[in-house]
């Protein structure tokens, strides 16, 4: 069992002022596998003050120095990759292969990318008689969720440190163990005191203290749209920069000329990644009305054949959701789908056969879903797919855009140029064509109520930078 008793503030493991503790539960066995302290508002304040004191020195380090530290952190994480994957599969329920790739490999890559960018990024340019500088925004509060606990931390902390900002991290108290592992790696790397600080705690306590703190210059938040609204409201009180990566209800548009034998399974995979606990999951599949029966047959075969069970068994494709509360929430949505008249293709609200213990949900597919149904409009965050019919290409675009969200999506077509034209019409931050791979150098973020700001690559680095224009005197020309 991983027992943590301290928070990490000003380069030291410190006794928290908060007296509460939180247990960490294995999603498969329901056993307690860890315990962490929960900070309070005074702990958040101490961390912010440490970050503020460290900012002047850290912001003046050279890009080369920061690059070397970030590379060292990446190496430290890489050395503990197997441990990270096991921790996340236990906490979150992520199947081990996906945990190794997306939960571990991507986290290491974010620090590696940030280190590499500092070798080429130009923080200064000349525009007319002005020297335009890119300078760090200041003290950054990073508030992160449980579904990709280390990867989404790395996507914020790495570029913030690269930019020259100092950081206070509040991870999810539900899946905090890899945040502690990162703090251990950073401590071993020898970053100056106060540059990185870790204060776990509840959102309404530590999260709100950070979002409203006058010495925090920026909040970078990933989580639900409802919580994002609250973070934005609190940040507005001190006019701080707020970057929000929020919910999604992304659509995979399968055009009539697509290869349905590959498009339907590909879209299903993009829905069920991490057991459906992915903000950018393609949870709506849009198909030509005339081919609905064909799609149902393929989906029933693919999803009905998925192995559900212990995520540490590489043969299993679906693990548990993270908690009893989340299981109840997902099962409630499945029942709502049935009540509202959606056609159940496979799955259902009951626990998978033989898996009454653990937070397992049957992978579920609904067909003949309409845009008015709850399961087509709200983010479920579990292994549930809704299949909707469209009449023509324009109708498909209309349905895809008929959402308060705009985070991700896909287009499948036998004609890549046609797919590109449709992709341009989708009001969403990212679109995959024919299952194209994810790109950690491309911007990630959403339109509409999926948030604002961008993460990953150069785009993520620039979120943590301010512009400064220094006007230089113009030399009189000689006669």
Number of Cβ within 10 Å of residue 1's Cβ equals 9
Torsion (CA) 320, 323, 324, 330 in degrees, nearest 10: -70
Measure the CA–CA gap between 417 and 328, rounded to whole angstroms: 43
DSSP state letter for 101: I
Q: Shortest CA distance to 51 belongs to which of 171, 191, 222, 243?
A: 191
The pair phi, psi for residue 85, each rounded to 5°, is: -60, -40
Please, which residues bridge with residue 465 across strands?
136
Q: Indicate if 279 belongs to the active site.
A: yes
Instruction: Name the maximum alpha-carbon separation found in the chain.
Output: 92
Catalytic residue, chosen from 91, 208, 245, 379, is 245
In the chain, what is the straight-line distance between the N-terminal and C-terminal CA atoms, in Å? Answer: 80
Quick one: 20 exposed, middle or buried, by C-beta within 10 A (0-12, 13-18, 19+)? middle
Alpha carbons 172 and 454: distance in angstroms, whole number: 21
Catalytic site residue 340? no
Which one of the listed residues 142, 165, 271, 279 is annotated catalytic?
279
Instruction: Name the H helices within 61-203.
Output: 63-79, 81-92, 96-98, 106-117, 151-163, 177-189
Q: What residues form DSSP beta bridges with 222?
A: 245
> Which residues have a Cβ under 8 Å from the Cβ of 357 and sit 6 or more positions away?
29, 30
For residue 379, give the nearest of 233, 226, 264 by alpha carbon: 226
Tokens standing for residue 423: 């992709």
The set of catalytic residues is 245, 279
């Amino acid at each position: 069992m991983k027992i943590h008793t301290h928070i990490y503030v000003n380069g030291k493991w410190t006794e928290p002022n908060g007296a509460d503790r939180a247990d960490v539960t294995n999603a498969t066995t329901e056993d307690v596998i860890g315990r962490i302290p929960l900070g309070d508002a005074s702990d958040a304040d101490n961390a912010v003050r440490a970050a503020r004191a460290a900012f002047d020195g850290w912001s003046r380090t050279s890009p080369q120095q920061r690059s070397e530290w970030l590379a060292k952190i990446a190496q430290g994480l890489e050395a503990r990759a197997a441990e990270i994957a096991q921790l996340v599969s236990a906490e979150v329920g992520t199947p081990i292969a996906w945990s190794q790739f997306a939960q571990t490999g991507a986290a290491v890559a974010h620090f590696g990318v940030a280190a590499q960018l500092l070798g080429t990024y130009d923080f200064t340019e000349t525009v007319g008689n002005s020297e335009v500088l890119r300078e760090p925004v200041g003290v950054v509060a990073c508030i992160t969720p449980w579904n990709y606990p280390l990867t989404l931390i790395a996507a914020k902390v790495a570029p913030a440190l690269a930019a020259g900002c100092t950081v206070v991290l509040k991870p999810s108290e539900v899946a905090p163990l890899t945040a502690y592992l990162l703090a251990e790696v950073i401590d071993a790397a020898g970053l100056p005191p106060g540059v990185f600080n870790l204060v776990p705690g509840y959102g309404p306590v530590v999260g709100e203290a950070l979002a409203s703190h006058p010495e925090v210059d920026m909040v970078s938040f990933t989580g639900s749209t409802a919580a994002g609204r609250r973070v934005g409201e609190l940040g507005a009180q001190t006019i701080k920069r707020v970057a929000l990566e929020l919910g999604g209800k992304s659509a995979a548009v399968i055009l009539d000329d697509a290869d349905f034998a590959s498009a339907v399974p590909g879209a299903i995979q993009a829905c069920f990644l991490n057991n459906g606990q992915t903000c950018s999951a393609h949870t709506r599949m849009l198909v030509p009305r005339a081919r609905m029966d064909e799609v149902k047959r393929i989906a029933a075969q693919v999803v009905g054949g998925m192995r559900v069970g212990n995520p540490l068994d590489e043969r299993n494709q679906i693990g548990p959701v993270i908690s009893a509360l989340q299981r109840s929430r997902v099962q409630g949505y499945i029942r709502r789908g049935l009540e509202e008249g959606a056609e159940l293709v496979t799955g259902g609200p009951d626990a998978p056969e033989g898996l009454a213990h653990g937070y397992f949900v049957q992978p579920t597919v609904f067909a003949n879903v309409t845009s008015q149904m709850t399961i087509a409009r709200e983010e479920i965050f579990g292994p549930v797919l809704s299949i909707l019919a469209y009449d023509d290409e324009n109708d498909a675009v209309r349905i895809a855009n008929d959402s308060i969200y705009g985070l991700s999506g896909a287009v499948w077509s036998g004609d890549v140029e046609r797919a590109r034209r449709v992709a341009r019409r989708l009001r969403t931050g990212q679109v995959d064509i024919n299952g194209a791979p994810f790109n950690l150098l491309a911007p990630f973020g959403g339109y509409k109520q999926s948030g604002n700001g961008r993460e990953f690559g150069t785009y993520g680095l620039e979120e943590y930078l301010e512009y400064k224009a220094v006007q230089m005197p113009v030399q009189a020309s000689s006669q």
